[in-house]
Amino acid sequence: MDEFNETLITLTGYVEMNKYRYLYFFVFFTVYVLIICSNGTIVYLIWTHKNLHEPMYIFIGALLFNSVIYSSTFYPKLLTDFLSDKQVIPYSGCIFQYFVFYSVGGSEFLLLAVMAFDRYVSICKPLRYPTIMRKTTVKHLLVFAWLFPSLHVVLQAALSTKSKICDHNLEAIFCNNTIYALQCMRSRTVTIIGVVILFDVAVLPVLFTVFTYAKIFIMAYQSNTTSKRKAAKTCVPHLLVLISFSYLCVYDVILARVESHLPKAARFVMMLQLFLYHPLLNPIIYGLKMKEISKHLKTLFCSTKV
């Protein structure tokens, strides 16, 4: 156990660290503060305004809160690394970062699937909506979205802690799927579990979300009622977020497969894509596209100026 705790992994994915460390720190610190403030502001508005205590807005608040946790998985460590002479992390810490990163990432897909289900019931079965989307149902869906990925990833993370390490240099700036390059031999069991996790917490929720929204749009635009068409427009922000996060998921899979075949600078830029803009995109999309949230944001900032 002591040997395990003393195992340090050196993160070698940074580019021109000595030259740009303070620029990196300033940029990432600014982005992290913006992520906390922008997501936190909308979560606060949803929490404090009763007219936003509807399932759709509660799920949006959960998604934005998820973005804060997602960002906090690596931003504090990155900021510390920028000001450190050596960019190292204990292997146990690396596994923990891996676990949180994929647990929260899986929750994002499931929350978007839950939001799709909410929109489907609201638009396609409006009379049954109050009986289906009760407070207890909302709570159960949220618990499921946060726990289901964790229960999947924890097994893979536990098995990874027992794997023998032959390399202590990780060509990355944080611990994602690239940690398997450190292991002397990749376990077949871990690989199979990884495929199951990808299918259960990413592929299936995405297929469900796309199918559900396709059905909503078809039904809404075949209907003669303007209200259904307007309601269908509330699905657009969710689809934009889904496309953005799915794009990042593809990046993560590519990074795990290309290993050292890409130039270091290209890998560095690709890794930045995983967390640089998506947590900022969510509050912008929901702040601009969701009418009620946008209205409260304008009221908040106008009253602040006065």
Query: Which residues lie below 8 Å from residue 145, measured CB to CB, with a gap of 6+?
Result: 62, 107, 110, 111, 113, 114
Report the alpha-carbon distance of residue 169 to residue 85 in Å, rounded.
15
The predicted pLDDT at position 3 comes to 44
Whether 176 contacts 274, CB under 8 Å: yes
Contact 237, 64 (CB under 8 A): no
Rounded CA separation 241/249 (Å): 12
Q: Which CATH number fits domain 2-305: 1.20.1740.10, 3.90.1150.10, 1.20.1070.10, 3.40.30.10?
A: 1.20.1070.10
Amino acid, single-letter form, for residue 113: A
pTM: 0.88
Q: pLDDT at position 110, please?
A: 95
Per residue of the chain (306 residues), give pLDDT as tens: 444 446 888 998 888 888 889 999 999 999 999 999 999 999 999 999 888 899 989 999 999 999 999 899 889 999 999 998 889 999 888 999 999 999 998 999 999 999 999 989 988 888 899 999 999 999 999 999 999 999 999 988 888 888 888 888 888 888 888 888 888 877 788 788 888 888 999 899 999 999 998 888 888 777 766 666 666 777 888 888 888 888 778 777 776 665 556 677 777 877 787 778 888 888 888 877 777 888 888 887 776 554
Bridge partners (DSSP) of residue 89 are 9
